[in-house]
Chain A
Amino acid sequence: MSELGLIAELLVNGVLFGAMYGVAAIGLSLIFGTMGIIFLAQGAMIVLGGYAAYWAFRLLDVDPYVMLFLLLPVSLLVGSAMYQLLFRRAAAMQDKNTSLLIAVGLSFMLESAMSLVWTPDPRSITTSYTSSSVHFLGMNWSITRTAGFFVAIASALSVTQFLRRTMIGKAVRATSEDMTSAALVGIAPHRVNMIAFAIGIALAGIAGCTLAATYTIDPYFGFLLSLKALIALALGGLGHVGGALAGGVLLGLIESGSSYVFPGWGDAFGYAAFLLVLMFRPQGLFVRTVTKA
């Protein structure tokens, strides 16, 4: 295989892989944008969604991509409930400590609970197409990863349209700018936050289904995923949805590329990129307008 072909294939894989980080990051971006909460439990929620897909497949023969749609209403409900129970008070106080720690506690709890109930063994979904690939342009395109990529794009587009076109979406954006002023003009901040949070969780559910179809999941993957999502978020610009997806793809490329040249150091490069972007371009690499610090 030619050098060029190799590099092309690496790039493609990096992009497809990065899309997974991107979906995780979009949810994070939405939640951070409206409430300023770094929801470190996003990864654990994604893994939970993955387990839902796994058990639906194993017990009821439901295809994971079908489960994706079935899970939407459920995760919206769960997200709303979570906000009401856990984050509402913290959001009102605008106390970063509290919400951060609640998210961390939740992450701990979920991981341990999943490990206890479903054992720590890694799980994966094997359908007729999960290990297959399509031959296109002289490269092998894994079906599941390509599907994951399209799901990511679709999610990003839907969320962006929602934020721009619908009344509620605009309310979400207003609240993320300034909660008190938004309240002054008649927006009920808690309801808006709840919606944003619910969408964030719904995105986690989507990401979980595609994750379970493509890779193996285990209860402890969540935290690492959260970290990677954070990096994607920083790369793309905190609070910017399209940027989050782009950030994820960029992270995928960085990791793919660096693990080719410096095997085993992929993670370190990701974290280094994270720190550098935070320090020198905190608004993210894909945002041109100036946002509040």
Chain B
Amino acid sequence: MNKRGALTTIAAAAVVATGLGTPLWAAAAAPTEIKIGAPISMSGLLAADGLEQKWSYEQAVADVNAAGGIFIKAANKKLPVRLVFADDQSDPSKVTDAMERLIKVEKVDLILSTHGGDLNMAGALAAEKYKKFYMITTMWPHDWGPKKFKWSALFFYDAAGGAEVPFKIWESLPPDQRPKKPALVVEDSPDGQGFGGVFKSLAKKYNVQFVLDEPWAMGAKDYSAYILKMKARGADAVLLFGSPGDSITMVRQMKEQNFSVPYLHGWKGTWPYEFREALGDASDYVLADGFWSPEYPYPGAKELGERYTKQFNKSSTSIGMFYANAQVMLKAIETSGSLEPKAVRDAVAGHEFKGTVQGDVKFDAAGLALITSTANQWWQGKHRLVYPTQAGGWTLKLAPPWNQRK
């Protein structure tokens, strides 16, 4: 057989193999397991977050299965839960691919979301098309809400709530320590552009003026222009929204230029452990956003944090929220006793879920639940919870200039 024939045969075989994986006519029978699908960024730029998300979902499912599974009316007994993942390659157009595979090949009706606004928009749209339930976290409510989706539910914090955290923290400081000349540097990504506008409107509300307010080109390696400007204008606080790589570079270059501010708060880029690894002690004092904290007093929170640290040797401020996302889905299946997407969704919207690792989560009739975002301060390689303040917990430390630090 010549090359052309060989290749065509291989291709045909590939197509047939994929096809054979999916029977054209599904047999209807009593369910023997609960299959939940999840598109996850297993490769591409967001793979770091994706893998954390995958781990968290797996933990939640393992915990439920260890307790015997969930009772389903149609089977009249408790069934085990099985997760099926599909790689979305951190790409919105591949999310739809992943959803196609999950829905048409794996035949799932219930889907846990991926991570990130534009990815989740694609996923939510796909869920609307095919009428499957999509339980979302990490998407801005102001993007999801106006669409009035009927087949997804969302729990996350809203940009206003998240962006308000630094302002609230400042208010809690004694007046002489409060930053008066903050700088705002926000990257040009969907998340960044969403957040940036909110910071500005909140600044007006709190009567604060940004001495520097500039978009941040992603992936550019040189930030001297920003740092020089901040220095020149006497900035005493910096709000930084950018990727981990860029955030590390920014702090490093701040040190090189001998520029330090008492209050440096980063979103998206300062929470990963790599930030601490790359900067060492220079990472101390820096605040990071978080979806959650292992220092939360909620049931299972501390234990989940310890499980993660034991396995990966670092701490996380997001796994709790992903875990809680799965908890909500699993609990809703239990309350409705069914695997039908509409029934499960109805068991989420308008209901309260008490005792998740994220605390009590209450969904409004449209299917939205707001949570509080956290602020954590790096200290000696650990995330210490600054906001929401816990009684007897960590107090915020303001950073001294570089040459005065140990």
Most B CB contacts (10 A, CB to CB) among A13, A17, A122, A143 go to: A122
Residues of B within 8 A of A10 (CB): 224-225, 228
Q: Which residue of B lies closest to A263 (CB)?
A: B214
Q: Choose one: B188, B216, B226, B256; the contact of A142 (CB below 8 Å).
A: B256
Residues of A within 8 A of B48 (CB): 119-121
Distance (whole angstroms) from the CB of A202 to the closest CB of chain B: 22
| Contact B253 A142, beta carbon cutoff 8 Å | yes
Most B CB contacts (10 A, CB to CB) among A115, A218, A263 go to: A263
Residues of B within 8 A of A112 (CB): 43
| Contact A255 B222, beta carbon cutoff 8 Å | yes
Q: How many residues of A contact B (CB 8 A)?
A: 43
User: A264 and B188 in contact (CB under 8 A), knowing A10-B225, A131-B252, A216-B248?
Assistant: yes
| Contact B225 A267, beta carbon cutoff 8 Å | no
Most B CB contacts (10 A, CB to CB) among A124, A143, A252 go to: A124
| Contact A216 B224, beta carbon cutoff 8 Å | no
**How many inter-chain residue pairs (CB < 8 Å) link A and B?**
113
| Contact B216 A130, beta carbon cutoff 8 Å | no
| Contact A121 B274, beta carbon cutoff 8 Å | yes
Query: Does chain A have a CB within 8 A of B141?
Result: no
* Residues of A172-205 whose CB lies within 8 A of B: none
- Complex CA–CA separation, A263 to B215 (angstroms): 6
| Contact B249 A264, beta carbon cutoff 8 Å | no
Q: Choose one: A122, A130, A252, A266; the contact of B244 (CB below 8 Å).
A: A122
Query: Does chain B have a CB within 8 A of A274?
Result: no
- B 267-280 binary contact with A (CB < 8 Å = 1; else 0): 00000101000111
- Complex CA–CA separation, A88 to B216 (angstroms): 42
Distance (whole angstroms) from the CB of B314 to the closest CB of chain A: 10
Query: Does chain B have a CB within 8 A of A39?
Result: no
User: A116 and B222 in contact (CB under 8 A), knowing A9-B228, A131-B252?
Assistant: no
Residues of A within 8 A of B68 (CB): none
Query: Does chain A have a CB within 8 A of B255?
Result: yes
Query: Does chain B have a CB within 8 A of A293?
Result: no
User: A122 and B278 in contact (CB under 8 A), knowing A112-B43, A140-B258, A263-B216?
Assistant: yes
User: A216 and B278 in contact (CB under 8 A), knowing A17-B221, A131-B255, A133-B258?
Assistant: yes
- B 47-61 binary contact with A (CB < 8 Å = 1; else 0): 110010000000000
Residues of B within 8 A of A264 (CB): 188, 214-217
User: A256 and B225 in contact (CB under 8 A), knowing A112-B43, A115-B43, A131-B252?
Assistant: yes
- Complex CA–CA separation, A41 to B151 (angstroms): 43
Q: Which residue of A lies closest to B47 (CB)?
A: A120
Q: Which residue of B lies closest to A112 (CB)?
A: B43
Distance (whole angstroms) from the CB of A51 to the closest CB of chain B: 14
- Complex CA–CA separation, A6 to B259 (angstroms): 14
| Contact A259 B220, beta carbon cutoff 8 Å | yes
| Contact A263 B225, beta carbon cutoff 8 Å | yes
Distance (whole angstroms) from the CB of A224 to the closest CB of chain B: 6
* Residues of A105-132 whose CB lies within 8 A of B: 112, 115-116, 119-124, 126, 130-132
| Contact A123 B217, beta carbon cutoff 8 Å | no
- Complex CA–CA separation, A126 to B278 (angstroms): 6
Query: Does chain A have a CB within 8 A of B229?
Result: yes
Distance (whole angstroms) from the CB of A188 to the closest CB of chain B: 31
Residues of B within 8 A of A119 (CB): 47-48, 51
Query: Does chain B have a CB within 8 A of A221?
Result: yes
Query: Does chain A have a CB within 8 A of B231?
Result: yes
Query: Does chain B have a CB within 8 A of A167?
Result: no
Distance (whole angstroms) from the CB of B293 to the closest CB of chain A: 21
Query: Does chain A have a CB within 8 A of B282?
Result: yes
Chain B contacts to A: CB under 8 angstroms: 43-45, 47-48, 51, 188, 214-217, 219-222, 224-226, 228-229, 231-232, 243-245, 248-249, 252-253, 255-258, 272, 274, 278-280, 282
